[in-house]
């Protein structure tokens, strides 16, 4: 999809001296807003962001080295947000398995609410440059670690076998909720069963199955 250009983009008044950093925040906000509104990473071009802020394209380069850096920063914010809503939801119950359910639901809900961010975070081709990879890995791990902790809590509570590897179980649960989330995003017209029930049923079945495993 190509971006539509405004005939006369409204011009933002130039920042006063010492307030140049204001633009940086506005660029990030505009980039995220474009991602939400267009639902298309391709539409978030340097020119489109500049238009949205009311500034000329070269002004972007006063605050970001290149396009990669801009997108990366937007992703970092989304990662933080996903981690935040997951933690918040998980705090909704003191029962570790119920907490895991809530966490799973929140994860899927984040994907539904921010499909293009989710796509960039988890469904994109891995970046070509090592720099991107490092940043990606660190952030994935940060978010993932909380899930591993949640699995440990289930093991401690006896809902999962004492001998279970928390990391492996976390990977399995991640794959599970990611599978639901990404399919909902990619195939919105498929006749899906009720979403929350799907998440709950599958998580429950998995936890039960792992609990009774060989």
Residues that bind DNA (CB under 7 A): 2-5, 11-12, 14-23, 43, 45-48, 55-62, 66-68
Report in angstroms how near the CB of residue 86 gets to a second copy at its nearest.
16
**Closer residue to DNA, CB minimum distance, 17 or 125:** 17
Gap between the Cα atoms of 58 and 179, Å rounded: 40
Q: Which of the listed partners (a second copy, DNA, none) does 12 bind, with a CB threshold of 5 to 8 Å by partner kind?
A: DNA
Token pair listed for 98: 């119920």
Gap between the Cα atoms of 128 and 15, Å rounded: 36
Q: Contact positions toward a second copy, by CB under 8 A?
A: 1, 39-40, 119, 122-126, 128, 133, 136-137, 140, 167-168, 171-172, 174-180, 182-183, 186-190, 192-193, 198, 201-202, 204-210, 212-213
Gap between the Cα atoms of 6 and 72, Å rounded: 26
**Closer residue to DNA, CB minimum distance, 16 or 125:** 16
Report in angstroms how near the CB of residue 91 gets to DNA at its nearest.
39
User: What string of DSSP letters covers 40-58?
Assistant: -GGG--HHHHHHHHTS-HH
Q: Which of the listed partners (DNA, a second copy, none) does 132 bind, with a CB threshold of 5 to 8 Å by partner kind?
A: none
Q: Which of the listed partners (a second copy, DNA, none) does 153 bind, with a CB threshold of 5 to 8 Å by partner kind?
A: none
Report the number of secondary-structure helices (H) and strands (E) in the chain. Answer: 9, 0
Gap between the Cα atoms of 151 and 153, Å rounded: 5
**Closer residue to DNA, CB minimum distance, 63 or 146:** 63
Which residue in 203, 182, 209 sits closest to 101, CA to CA? Answer: 203
Q: Which of the listed partners (DNA, a second copy, none) does 5 bind, with a CB threshold of 5 to 8 Å by partner kind?
A: DNA
**Closer residue to a second copy, CB minimum distance, 73 or 204:** 204
**Closer residue to DNA, CB minimum distance, 73 or 98:** 73
**Closer residue to DNA, CB minimum distance, 35 or 150:** 35
Report in angstroms how near the CB of residue 185 gets to a second copy at its nearest.
8
Which alpha helices (DSSP H) does 54-165 contain, by range?
57-60, 67-90, 96-113, 115-118, 130-156
Report in angstroms how near the CB of residue 127 gets to DNA at its nearest.
14
Gap between the Cα atoms of 121 and 140, Å rounded: 9
Gap between the Cα atoms of 128 and 132, Å rounded: 7
Residues 46 and 60 sit within 8 Å (Cβ to Cβ): yes
Report in angstroms how near the CB of residue 101 gets to a second copy at its nearest.
13
């Amino acid at each position: 999809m190509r971006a539509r250009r405004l005939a006369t983009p409204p011009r933002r008044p130039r920042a006063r001296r010492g307030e140049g950093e204001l633009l940086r925040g506005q660029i990030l906000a505009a980039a995220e807003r474009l991602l939400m509104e267009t639902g298309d990473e391709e539409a978030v071009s340097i020119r489109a962001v500049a238009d949205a802020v009311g500034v000329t394209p070269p002004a972007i380069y006063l605050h970001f080295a290149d396009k990669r850096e801009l997108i990366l920063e937007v992703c970092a914010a989304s990662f933080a947000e996903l981690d935040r809503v997951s933690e918040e939801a998980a705090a909704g119950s003191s029962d570790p398995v119920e907490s895991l359910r809530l966490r799973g639901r929140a994860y899927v809900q984040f994907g539904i609410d921010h499909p293009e961010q989710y796509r960039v975070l988890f469904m994109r081709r891995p970046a070509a440059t090592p720099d991107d990879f490092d940043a990606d890995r660190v952030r994935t791990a940060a978010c993932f670690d909380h899930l591993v902790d949640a699995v440990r809590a289930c093991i401690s509570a006896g809902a999962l076998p004492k001998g279970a590897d928390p990391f492996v179980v976390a990977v399995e649960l991640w794959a599970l909720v990611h599978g639901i989330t990404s399919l909902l995003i990619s195939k919105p017209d498929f006749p899906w069963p009720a979403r929350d029930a799907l998440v709950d049923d599958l998580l429950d079945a998995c936890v039960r199955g792992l609990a009774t495993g060989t």
